């Protein structure tokens, strides 16, 4: 998943990027202008937005951001303690509000909770076929045995799972797992190889008929629910 961090305190921005890049693709912006430029170039799954930006109030930026990235989830990060700011941010479409100072673990937990709500999961542990996928711990378990997937393999599997029953193109998957590809650099084989590896590893334990190839398009996870 792709995350844009809009934060003018560079040390804090760097800390968030360093922590979150273990599980997300992260871009940084230190001003509202830079943030909007990033949003015009990319689509993000999460936008972490500081309200106290030097060139524009974060609440005004939130209004503009919703036009450029309407499908993103927004978490407001701010030292402001006023209830009206929090209420206004949520009314403008923010998904959550985290006052500074905050723990990076709490930030990650809030992001995971927002993602689960957005995609209709009530629990961090999701059953798929004979497997249980823990979106927080980033593990796949069959019975009592953990299936060893690489970071990119888990990212790919979990992204398909979050979008269950929806076909995703190879380009969509590539952009969200590896970042943007130029037309010259794009190679759908990246995705095909990783899907093949996921199937091989999981099918050693149980059938993975739910992981489907959509001819000439890409892949999807098909579930009954």
Q: Tell me how many domains the chain contains.
A: 2
What's 85's domain CATH number?
A: 3.40.50.2300
What's 152's domain CATH number?
A: 1.10.10.10
Out of 119, 151, 182, pick the residue that ends a domain. Answer: 119
**Rounded CA separation 141/136 (Å):** 13
**Rounded CA separation 40/175 (Å):** 15
Entry pTM: 0.71
Residue 80: pLDDT band (50, 70, 90) is low
Out of 119, 140, 165, pick the residue that ends a domain. Answer: 119
The helix or strand, by DSSP H or E, that contains position 70, with its residue range, turns out to be none
Out of 97, 119, 141, pick the residue that ends a domain. Answer: 119
pLDDT tens-digit readout, 187-206: 558 889 999 999 999 999 99
Q: Is 173 helix (H, G, I), strand (E, B) or coil?
A: helix
First to last CA, the chain: 23
Q: Are residues 35 and 138 in the same domain?
A: no
Q: Are residues 21 and 80 in the same domain?
A: yes
Q: Cα-flanking dihedrals φ and ψ of residue 168, to 5°?
A: -115, 135
Q: Are residues 113 and 148 in the same domain?
A: no
Q: Are 76 and 97 in contact (CB under 8 A)?
A: yes
Residue 37 or residue 42, greater confidence:
37
Q: How far is CA 13 from the centre of its chain?
A: 17
Q: Are residues 109 and 145 in the same domain?
A: no
Residue 82: pLDDT band (50, 70, 90) is low
Per-residue model confidence (pLDDT) at position 205: 96
Containing domain of residue 92, as a range? 2-119
* Residue closest to 45 by CA, chosen among 179, 204, 154: 179
Q: Are residues 36 and 112 in the same domain?
A: yes
């Amino acid at each position: 998943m792709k995350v844009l961090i809009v934060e003018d305190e560079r040390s804090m921005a760097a800390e968030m990027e360093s922590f979150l890049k273990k599980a997300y693709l992260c871009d940084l912006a230190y001003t509202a202008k830079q943030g909007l430029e990033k949003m015009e170039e990319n689509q993000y799954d999460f936008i972490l937005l500081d309200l106290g930006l030097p060139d524009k109030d974060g609440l005004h930026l939130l209004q503009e951001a919703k036009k450029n990235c309407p499908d993103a989830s927004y978490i407001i990060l701010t030292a402001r303690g006023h209830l009206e700011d929090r209420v206004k941010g949520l009314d403008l479409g923010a998904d959550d509000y985290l006052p500074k100072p905050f723990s990076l673990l709490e930030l990650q937990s809030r992001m995971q909770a927002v993602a689960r709500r957005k995609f209709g999961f009530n629990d961090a542990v999701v059953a798929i076929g004979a497997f249980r996928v823990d979106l927080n711990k980033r593990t796949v378990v069959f019975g009592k045995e953990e299936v060893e997937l690489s970071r990119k393999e888990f990212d790919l599997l979990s992204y398909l799972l979050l979008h269950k029953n929806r076909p995703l193109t190879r380009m969509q998957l590539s952009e969200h797992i590896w970042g943007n590809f130029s037309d010259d650099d794009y190679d759908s084989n990246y995705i095909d190889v990783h899907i093949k590896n996921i199937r091989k590893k999981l099918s050693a334990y149980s059938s993975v008929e739910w992981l489907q190839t959509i001819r000439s398009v890409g892949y999807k996870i098909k579930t009954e629910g």
